[in-house]
Amino acid sequence: MSAKGKTIPVLTVISVIVVIWYACVVWMNAPFEYDKAERAGTQIGFSQLVSNTMSQQRPVLPAIHQIADEMYKTIVLKNITSKRSLVYHAWITLSATLLGFALGTLLGILLAVGIVHNRAMDKSVMPWVITSQTIPILAIAPMIIVVLNAIGLSGLLPKAMISTYLSFFPIVVGMVKGLRSPGQAQLDLMHTYSASTAQIFWKLRWPSSMPYLFTSLKIAIAISLVGAIVGELPTGAVAGLGARLLAGSYYGQTIQIWSALFTAAILAAVLVMIVGFAHARVLKRMGQKPEGAAT
């Protein structure tokens, strides 16, 4: 019912975007065609212009079918071990994303636990956590890579560190709120049982924080992917979606840039969906009231 109710609005939005996109393709790629026609000393008709703008080698804005065609060639047709396969590049980025996400989640949870349980950490850590996110990641990413390289770390880990740097933030913020979400009555109840801090944590704070954790995880996984791509940009990485973006921009390969972008977007959507699915599973196991159920 709800899925059916969503289909038409979603399709409407998509078709509007496609129409605007193609209008932009014609509009933005037209100057090149006019230029070419002028140099050749010929006139170009409108239908010819439209068809030409959609089949340029290096368009300002490639048409969607050109991107789809490029993605089909580089994802499906190429062997996945090939350096030209987007699957290969996506995997390089994904592995850094997942490692960074795991480390970021762990770091975020540990910091949140510390902040909730330790007064000194509560007063001192949060300002630094917030400050860390005000530094532009593009500025700090090359330094992280260089510093880690100097101590002999290269490849996957430095990129993952940038993902970690970005992804621990929503986890800390969400988990501090989540671990503090139990009300005074629930804490009083634990106090009347003379429960230990560890018991209060595992039996009350941790389960209470689950909805907050998963909301944060959704943000963290998407931002981890951004971090991994950013980590590939300034380092002259030879592989990964970031490297594809960079190489594409060096050589004016706009179609290649856009296919890497689309692949990254699809990857992000899939990752967020997986987290969302895990969220639903955990809440179901925790006996959450199904939506629309009578009280």
Partner 1 sequence: MSQAVVTANDLSLTFQTNDGPVHALAGVNLSVAKGEFVSFIGPSGCGKTTFLRVIADLEKPTGGEIKVNGVDPETARKARAYGYVFQAASLYPWRTIERNVALPLEIMGFSADEMRQRIARTLDLVNLAGFEKKYPWQLSGGMQQRASIARALAFDADLLLMDEPFGALDEIVRDHLNEQLLKLWDKTNKTICFVTHSIPEAVYLSTKIVVMSPRPGRVSDVIKSTLPNLRPLDIRESPEFLKIAHRVREGLRAGHSYDE
* Residues that bind partner 1 in the complex, under the rule CB under 8 A: 183, 185-186, 188-195, 199, 203-204, 207, 210, 286-289, 293, 295
Cα angle at 120 between 168 and 179, to 5 degrees? 50
Question: Between residues 47 and 291, which has the closer beta carbon with respect to partner 1?
Answer: 291
80 secondary structure, DSSP code? T
Q: How far is the CB of 290 from partner 1 (least distance, A)?
A: 10
Count CB atoms within 10 A of the CB of residue 49.
16
Kindly report the backbone phi and psi dihedral angles of residue 144, in degrees, each rounded to the nearest multiple of 5, phi listed first: -60, -45
- When the beta carbons of 83 and 191 are compared against partner 1, the nearer one is 191
DSSP 8-state secondary structure symbol assigned to residue 82: S
> Of 193 and 277, which has the nearer Cβ to partner 1?
193
**In residues, how long is the chain?**
295
Could you give the CA distance from residue 286 to residue 275 in angstroms, rounded to a whole number?
Answer: 16
- Could you give the angle at the alpha carbon of 95 between the alpha carbons of 92 and 96, nearest 5°? 90
Tell the smallest beta-carbon distance from residue 277 to partner 1 (Å): 19
Rounded distance between C-alpha atoms, residue 268 and residue 275, angstroms? 11
Between 249 and 288, CB nearer to partner 1: 288
Contacts of 96 (CB under 8 A, 6+ apart): 156, 159, 160, 163, 228, 231, 232, 240
Residue 290 corresponds to which tokens in the numbers above? 């199904």
CB of 279 to partner 1, least distance (A): 14
CB of 285 to partner 1, least distance (A): 9
User: Cβ of residue 205: shortest distance to partner 1, in angstroms?
Assistant: 12
223 Cβ neighbours under 8 A, 6+ residues apart = 163, 166, 167, 169, 170
Give whichever of 81 and 192 is closer to partner 1, judged by the CB atom: 192
On the 0-12 / 13-18 / 19+ scale of CB atoms within 10 A, 285 is exposed
Nearer to partner 1, 60 or 195 (CB): 195
Residue 124 or 288: the one with the smaller Cβ distance to partner 1 is 288
Q: What minimum distance in Å lies between the beta carbon of 282 and partner 1?
A: 10
Cβ atoms within 10 Å, residue 7: 9
CB of 184 to partner 1, least distance (A): 10
